[in-house]
Amino acid sequence: MKFISIRLAFFVVLFLRLNAVCGQAVLQVGKVISTSVDQNAVQIKTQNAFIEITPYSPNIIRFRMDKKPLKKDFSYAVVAKREMIKANISQGINEIKISTAAVNCVIQKDPFSVAIYTKDGKVINEDANGLSTSWADNSVTTYKKMQPGERFIGLGEKSGNLDRKGSAYTNWNTDAVGYNNGTDPLYSDVPFFIGLHDHLSYGIFLDNTYQTDFNFGASNDIFSSFGARGGEMNYYFIYDNSVAKIITDYTWLTGTMKLPPLWSLGYQQSKWSYFPDTMVLRVANELRSKHFPADGMVLDIDYMDKYQLFTWNKKYFPHPLKMTDSLRKLGFRTTVIVDPGIKIAPDAPAYKKGLKEDVYLKYPNGQYYSGQVWPGWCNFVDFTSEKGRKYWRSQMNFFAKNGVSGVWNDMNEISTWGQSTPNNILYNYDGRGANNLEGHNVFALNMVRSSYEGMKQVTGVRPFILSRSGYAGLQRYSAIWTGDNQPTDDHMLLGVRMLNSMGLSGLAFTGMDISGFLGDATPALFTRWMQIGAFMPYCRNHKITGAKPAEPWCYGENALNNSRSYIELRYHLLPYLYSIFYEATQDGLPINRSLAIDYSYQENIYKEDFQNQYLFGENIMVAPFKSTDTSGKIYLPKGDNWYDLYTDKEFEGGQVTDAKLTLDRLPLYIKAGSVIPMQSLVQSTAEMPTDTLVVQVYNGNKSSSFTYYEDDGESYKYQKGDFYKRVIKFNPADKTIEFSKVDGTFASKFKYVKILFHGSKDTQLKLHQQYFSAIPYMVSSESEAGTIAVKSIVTANVEKAFSVKY
């Protein structure tokens, strides 16, 4: 009997222990045990976590949580310092309250949970009841209650619909060749999304470089969640009164883009691969002879000697500087591809230098990590170390001395044959140390940082940097494109949504391979894609080796003529385009603007029929359709009237129009009240337009303005005030157009302004008296007005002004 009792006691203890272990399979934050409160932050110790909550700005509150004491703060993404704001922080027996000028944050103590309210008491965001934040092994996840009708947008480069609700996503930078509308993860990682409900909007940025996971109500109807496979729960909660302002707040945190060189806004011709050098020059000359505006020739991997970095294939490119000089004389700049793998070649100068400076990623035993890519077995620079970045910066001189203006960073997820980098690769992580689980997602960000800083250092002018991969903050250094896409109509429209999603996530300079990289496009698809491409930030036509050539004349005379017309329209619009790029450097707002930015709460914009529509800048709405569509529906957002660009017909906003579609015209609409500056046609940005700036003004019922901006398009002199900026205001109430006083010291390339007025037959339109003489409509006297004279105000002959050929 005694033996049975002992056995029974043993099994009872075992059962209790197993139950305890099972109970800890998910570790909750638990009850608040102690707090330390001052005017700058709240330090909290709970049963199972260490927490810090910091009012970062009036609109941003930061949350940090871990199972162990928090480490010293560090981020590759966040560049903004915390503002020293006055926040009211108080606590009672059951809760802690943090009040800023924008929000009230209430932290319940038993158990710990967070809720954030507007100043008038409306719930913006709150933890899911009883769930809050928890750990499953090393993975940490925060669960939020889904509000009625809540939508989720953004999250960077993601497939799927504009509204992410009902879907789940993973961030782990991946070479996703040939991806489709359901593929996830993709090439880059921006763990930032925006939530919308009840005419309230907020953003959450999860700054954690481990693999992160987001669930927007997939497989459940209770919560949305975000988490990471390691590290802290470290997120920034952003509240503002519009989606646009949330994007501006986010890019205040992570930085805005730098002004790109003007030539990078022109059309770029690319192929895997143009070689030898005579072919490169032949294509460039053909573009000129066919009067097809273009600014860039792009060289893929075959310019290298056996795909080895920092080499030229001497057979195909015996005199690279001579070639790039010849291209520059034709008005072209040269961009070349680079991959991160340095071929293991003991006699190669670049490889030897890397060995000497000990810059490569390693295993724990000190052996360099090697992976196989285009040149064979390679070592990879540890871009998370300063010595690795310094090494790479020095290698950029190889390109600068050969006349290269742009560096295209490819394969930087890291991509290797086998597509599985081992977890035990060690990263320096700027002295903090990390393995591949933490370092993988920031490899590309630090690569393009090094490329940008190196090219800037060795050339002294603005470089163009392009990347396939990245992390939050990428916009500070590089443009990004959507990788290896397919030549289909569905993929074209998927690409539009992906660019718009990246724009919602702080990435303003984006593009996709026009006509689809992985194979042949039909002439109709090529035509439609070129039309859409004319209204993308980065406009590059690119094809895989073995596919039909990428040049516009290879798709027939009709495709050539129509494509040329739309690229010509892009070049006419360069004053508008460059100005909105300038605005992106100031407020972080994208060039391609999802309608969710300006019309966030209109149900129609999230519908499948309309979710591809977007604004190019604030004023031009693009309605993409498949090349095979002969009819379609277009939603004209409520709150503004819209003009058909081709006919000047005005439509009231808030309606769905039935459109008859033809391949010769991409549906384009201009927002009423718009001010759109244009120039004469040039064949490249190296060519000066004529001396007259044409300002298109579209009548409306609301006052509007446009910030016009110029500089030399190449140097950093604008940072010292050498720019030309003025605000053009249109007030329909008193029928005035006002040009503000010039800001900056740069001399405009234009001497005259010609105003084309749309949508009114009123002959009393006048210029504001302050800086221009009042000139009656249709009078073409050239009265001086500071540095620019008014040449004329005329009605627009729209068919002539915006002609297209097919």
CB neighbour list of residue 322: distance below 8 Å, 6 or more residues apart: none
- Helices (H), ranges, 381-461: 386-395, 397-400, 436-439, 443-459
Q: Specify whether the CB–CB gap between 262 and 714 falls below 8 A.
A: yes
How far apart, in whole angstroms, are the C-alpha atoms of residue 395 and residue 451? 9
Q: Which amino acid is at 680?
A: S
Among residues 413, 438, 583, 738, the one annotated as catalytic is 413
Question: How far apart are the C-alpha atoms of 278 and 674, rounded to whole Å?
Answer: 45
* Conformation bin of residue 430: beta by default, left when phi > 0, alpha when psi is -120 to 50: left
Tell me: cis bond preceding 111? Omega within 30 of 0 counts. yes
- Token pair listed for 476: 């500070």
Sequence-ordered strand ranges (E) for 121-244: 123-126, 133-136, 139-145, 151-154, 168-171, 192-197, 200-206, 212-215, 223-228, 233-240
* Marked catalytic residue, from 175, 300, 410, 710: 410
Kind of pairing between the strands at 133-136 and 27-28: antiparallel
Evaluate whether 79 touches 249 at the Cβ level (below 8 Å): no
Tell me the C-alpha distance between 497 and 156, whole Å. Answer: 10
Helix axes 443-459, 386-395, angle to 10 degrees: 50
**E strand intervals along 460-526:** 464-467, 479-481, 510-511, 513-514
Q: In what order do the strands lie in the sheet with 32-37?
A: 32-37, 42-46, 50-57, 60-66, 233-240, 200-206, 192-197, 151-154
In the block, which residue shows the tokens 């072209």? 332
CB 678 within 8 A of CB 577: no
Question: Residue 427 — φ and ψ, nearest 5°?
Answer: -115, 145
Which amino acid belongs to residue 474?
A: L
Residue with tokens 């913006």: 124
484 is catalytic: yes
Q: Which residue out of 127, 295, 305, 484 is catalytically annotated?
A: 484
410 assigned to active site: yes
Give the count of beta carbons closer than 10 Å to the beta carbon of residue 600: 21
* Spatial CA neighbour of 485 closest among 525, 534, 448: 525
Instruction: Please tell me the total number of residues recorded for the chain in this structure.
Output: 806
Which residues, including other chains, have CB under 8 Å from residue 326's CB and lie 6 or more apart? 281
- Side by side, the strands of the sheet bearing 139-145 are 27-28, 133-136, 139-145, 223-228, 212-215, 168-171
DSSP 534-596: TTSSS-EE---TTSSP-SGGGG-HHHHHHHHHHHHHHHHTHHHHHHHHHHHHHH---SEEEHH
Please say whether the dihedral angle defined by the alpha carbons of residues 116, 117, 123 and 129, taken in this order, is positive or negative: positive
Give the CA distances from residue 723 to residues 579, 710, 711, 745, in Å, rounded to whole numbers and listed in that order.
12, 6, 5, 6
Task: Give the C-alpha separation, 209 to 231, whole Å.
Answer: 8
User: Would you say the C-alpha torsion 257, 258, 261, 262 has a positive or negative sign?
Assistant: positive
Structure-block tokens of residue 645: 């660009």
CB contact at 8 A, 382 and 360:
yes
Give catalytic residues, as residue numbers. Answer: 410, 413, 484
